[in-house]
Homo-oligomer: A and B are copies of this chain.
Amino acid sequence: MTTPLVIGLNAAIVAVTQEVPRILTVKRPDHSLALPGEMVSEDGAFLDALPFGPLDARADPTLELGLRGWVREQTGIELGYVEQLYTFGDRNRDPEEHEGGARVISVAYLALVRERQLFGAAEASWRDWYGYFPWEDWRLTRPSIIDREIAPSLAQWVAAASQPATRRRCQERVDIVFGLNGAAWDEERVLERYELLYEAGFVAEKARDRMLRTKLQPGSQNRHSPSPSQTETPSLGRPMALDHRRILATALGRLRGKIKYRPVVFELLSSTFTLLQLQRVVEALAGVRLHKQNFRRLVEKGGLVERTGQFDPETGGRPAELFRFRREVLRERLAPGVGLPGAIRSLES
């Protein structure tokens, strides 16, 4: 009767150590290796994957509890801050497994953990997330990969479109999304950038998915507006298993948005910190450098932190005062709803 269904629970578990944002990955056998003419990850037989576990429909009372449960089992990490991200349900998300049978719907979560911790069972490791998205780190300089590879490749892709109107739309999209030709870089558009590269065929996942899909359904023709130049398609960024890089891009974009209006960064910091440490973590997430004095002004005036009176002598220069997060703001935050033009409080209009 009904096709069997599996609910997968994926976690993008984020930590920041030494100014490097990291994501917890596990090794997953590369099923595509069995096929001929297949792109293979550098490591050979394994691909990076986000920690994954199926929902136990009988035992897990809640999706989130299910997630916490097997993350604990699998990595020894007790998750703190957890937030549901998105539910991925496209068919052929997972063209490899379950070929005959079950369809996998994945509910993805974002989790923030405080510092890197040791973990137990599975073959897990922390990886710099900019390894997967080298074009996202603008802290030191505009990433060279953009001008060296992305822009030319995408230009080719745009040029390959037959209709002039299509070409214009594609060009516009490329410019907006990657901040080219005068458009500003918007650090939140992580997912849009990844999806554009995927569509254009410049990430390894695209080629892999196409190959697997045609193998599974030999009759199906997929028509993408402009098709990538088949000559030397670059493979940008480190690939992941299945659609996990898409999930990670979603997580990254969401997190970059969220730190701007909710005090979630503190989940990543130890209980006391200097303002520069705080700033560095925000910068690591946002992939952008910030103005120090203004940052400190904002944070202090926002009542987000309070002084401890203690100092960190390890700064190299004048010792920095240690601060702690003021949990009270969670309750105070009276008007996080900035944005409505002139919300009338007095109701006498």
Q: Which of A13-21, A22-30, A266-274, A286-294 contacts B (4 or more CB under 8 A)?
A: A286-294
* Interface residue from B260, B295, B297, B342 paired with A290 (Cβ < 8 Å): B342
Number of copies: 2
Alpha-carbon distance between A234 and B269 when the two chains are bound, in angstroms: 44
Contact A89 B331 (CB under 8 A): no
The residues in A between 40 and 71 inclusive whose CB is less than 8 angstroms from any CB of B are 55, 57-58, 60-63
Main DSSP-derived SS at the A contact region: loop
Contact B103 A172 (CB under 8 A): no
Contact A57 B5 (CB under 8 A): yes
Chain B contacts for A299, CB-based, 8 A:
341
Alpha-carbon distance between A103 and B7 when the two chains are bound, in angstroms: 11
A92 to chain B minimum Cβ distance, whole angstroms, is: 8
Contact B7 A349 (CB under 8 A): no
Contact B90 A176 (CB under 8 A): no
Contact B138 A347 (CB under 8 A): yes
A342 to chain B minimum Cβ distance, whole angstroms, is: 3
Chain B contacts for A2, CB-based, 8 A:
6, 57-58
Enumerate chain A interface residues (CB-CB to B < 8 A).
2-7, 55, 57-58, 60-63, 84, 86-87, 89-92, 103, 105, 107, 138, 140-142, 172-173, 176, 183-184, 186-188, 256-257, 260-261, 282, 286, 288-292, 294-295, 297-299, 331, 334-345, 347, 349
CB pairs A–B below 8 angstroms (11 shown): A4-B57, A63-B105, A186-B334, A186-B337, A289-B344, A290-B340, A291-B341, A291-B342, A295-B341, A295-B342, A299-B341
